[in-house]
Structure 1
Amino acid sequence: MLFAFLCTDKPGHLNVRMENRPAHVEWLNGLNAAGTLKIAGPFLDGDGKPCGSLVIVKAETIEDAKTLSADDPYAKAGLFEKVEIRPYNWTFNNPEA
């Protein structure tokens, strides 16, 4: 099953995002190599600067998805104000369909 992580950065924490970006990208690369990562990228504010993240992963259960989300270096660094994890059905343009 797929799960979407809808992550909202804390206001004024762009520096935390940038300082932890290399570790975050390494974490995403690991998920990708394992076949777990489906989609990932930042949300942008009105100035085109990152202000959150969308990550879609494959996991057996929502508990597994929560564990994956908690392992994100951004989460560990306290970047996010809020993280919502929701089951996701990739209907259109899914290369695996």
Structure 2
Amino acid sequence: MYYAIISEDVDNSLPLRQTARAAHLERLQKLKAEGRLLVAGPHPAIDTPDPGNAGFSGSLVVAEFDSLVAAQTWADSDPYMDAGVYRKVTVKPFKVVLP
């Protein structure tokens, strides 16, 4: 089943994101290689694809896991968690309807 991992950043998270970005992306690439990643990306803090120094306000990952517990465990071990990027992470079941 798919799960949505909805993360909210702490204020001024850009420097923290930059320190952990490579490790964060490596985990996402692994999900992609396994055919389990539907979509992943950050939420720009301002209304533009490249927010520059404004940074990001959070992230969304939709991926396939065996269970809610497995999805939560994966989310809890994100390098952005260790780096203090996220202040809140919500994991919910997700049903793909379109496209």
Q: CA RMSD in A?
A: 1.2
Confirm whether residue 68 of structure 1 aligns to residue 71 of structure 2: no
- Measured in 2, the distance between the counterparts of 1:13 and 1:92 equals 32
- 3-state SS of paired residue (2:80): helix
8 Å Cα contact 1:14-1:51 kept in structure 2: no
Q: How high is the sequence identity, in percent, across the aligned residues?
A: 34
Q: How many residues align?
A: 93
Confirm whether residue 86 of structure 1 aligns to residue 92 of structure 2: yes
Which residue is equivalent to 1:34? Answer: 34
- Measured in 2, the distance between the counterparts of 1:23 and 1:2 equals 22
Residue deviations 1:53-78 (CA, integer Å, cap 9, x gap): 00011012100101111121112222
8 Å Cα contact 2:19-2:83 kept in structure 1: no
- Measured in 2, the distance between the counterparts of 1:33 and 1:46 equals 31
Ranges in structure 1 where 5+ consecutive residues have no aligned partner: none
Ranges in structure 2 where 5+ consecutive residues have no aligned partner: none
Worse overlay, 58-67 or 71-80 = 71-80
**TM-score normalized by structure 2?**
0.86
1:1-80 correspondence to structure 2 within 5 Å: 1-46=1-46, 48=51, 49-80=55-86
**TM-score normalized by structure 1?**
0.88
